Amino acid sequence: MEPMTWDYILKYVIVGDAAVGKSALLLRLTDDRFALTEPTLGVEFGSRILSIGEEGKRVKVQCWDTAGTESFRSITRSYFRGAAGALLVYDVTRRETFEHVNSWLHDLQEHADENVCIILVANKTDLISRAPPTHISALPSSATSPPVEYPSSLPSSRLLSGDNASPHGNLNAQTSECNVEGAMPRQVTEKEGREFANRNGLLYVETSAKEGWNVVNAFEWTAREVLTRINKSEMERKKKRGGPIKLDDRDRSRGCC
């Protein structure tokens, strides 16, 4: 028999408006490169094995990249079922793509499993910043990082990561002008993105598929959260049953939820 090369297989979906960079994110995950992408017709597929957590669990991420175009919406919805993780993507330079996030979230909540782990992905940050975001993801439930405090109002045009980026990420950039040549205006602030994520119990991350910033992290953080939830539910089941259950005793080829 072939040796098992992974501990878990997790199904992922990538959703969001057209041209926000979903296919570019998948290409960065699977091939670690950025190339011209055509609009997706229906769905595309890619996979990669990631090593998750201190125990280095090998998680095979099987990812369905869906079309953002409205005409494919009913087809793409049918792929949500059984997804353990979802990347809900918008483009930080196009406000309307953020305004539609609620509708994509609604679709996921309606058609994916109840406990799907969703990360809100603010993509194309290379267009507004020269430096990668230095802060880490906001984690709602099994938080490993302290919540970041934000000033109550920040002018969006000044909320930019720059060379002065600090552990507080873009916050310090409010005092520095954006010096990216030909930079586009940021139309959705980090604060808005994080607040939406917090309100809806989502993870949050700022990415650039072009530069490769945080792309693998987006998948890894989600997988880690999924494994944490599995662990938690196993523990609860164990408590109820009163007998020992090891996480590894599960059917390894099964998804999470």
Ligand X SMILES: Nc1nc2c(ncn2[C@@H]2O[C@H](COP(=O)(O)OP(=O)(O)OP(=O)(O)O)[C@@H](O)[C@H]2O)c(=O)[nH]1
| Chain positions contacting ligand X, by CB under 6 A | 18-24, 36-37, 39-40, 67-69, 123-124, 126-127, 208-210
What amino acid occupies position 13? Answer: V
Q: What is the DSSP string of 39-59?
A: PPSSEEEEEEEEEETTTTEEE
Decide: is 208 part of the binding site for Mg ion (CB under 5 A). no
CB of 147 to ligand X, least distance (A): 26
| Least distance in angstroms from the C-beta of 119 to Mg ion | 18
Residue 19 near which of ligand X, Mg ion, none (CB within 5-8 Å, type-dependent):
ligand X
Beta carbons of 49 and 6 less than 8 angstroms apart: yes
CA distances from 5 to 56, 60, 63, 257 (A): 12, 9, 18, 20
**Is residue 76 involved in binding Mg ion (CB under 5 A)?**
no
The nearer residue to Mg ion, 8 or 98, going by C-beta atoms, is 98
Residue 28 touches which of Mg ion, ligand X, none (Cβ within 5-8 Å per kind) = none
DSSP SS3 for 199: helix
CA distance 109 to 18: 20
Are 7 and 59 within 8 A, CB to CB?
A: yes
- Of residues 22 and 194, the one with the C-beta less far from ligand X: 22
Interacting partner of 30 out of ligand X, Mg ion, none (Cβ under 5 to 8 A depending on kind)? none
Contact between residue 87 and residue 20 where contact means Cβ atoms under 8 Å apart? no
**Residue 195 backbone dihedrals phi, psi, to 5 degrees:** -65, -40
Binding range to Mg ion, per CB under 5 A, among 14-22, 82-90, 162-170, 175-183: 14-22
Q: How far is the CB of 164 from ligand X (least distance, A)?
A: 22
Q: Are 80 and 112 contacting, i.e. CB atoms less than 8 angstroms apart?
A: yes
Instruction: List the structure tokens of 70.
Output: 């409205």
40 binds Mg ion (CB under 5 A): yes
What's the closest the beta carbon of residue 115 comes to ligand X, in angstroms? 25
Q: Least distance from C-beta 106 to Mg ion, angstroms?
A: 21
Q: Which is nearer to ligand X, 23 or 137 (CB)?
A: 23
Rounded Cα distance between 114 and 116, Å, is: 6
Q: How far is the CB of 216 from ligand X (least distance, A)?
A: 14
- Burial class from Cβ neighbours inside 10 Å (0-12, 13-18, 19+) for residue 247 reads middle
In the list Mg ion, ligand X, none, the entry touching 210 (Cβ below 5 to 8 angstroms by class) is: ligand X
Residue 191 beta carbon to ligand X: minimum distance, rounded to whole angstroms: 20
CB of 52 or CB of 205, closer to ligand X: 205
Contacting residues toward Mg ion, per CB under 5 A? 22-23, 40
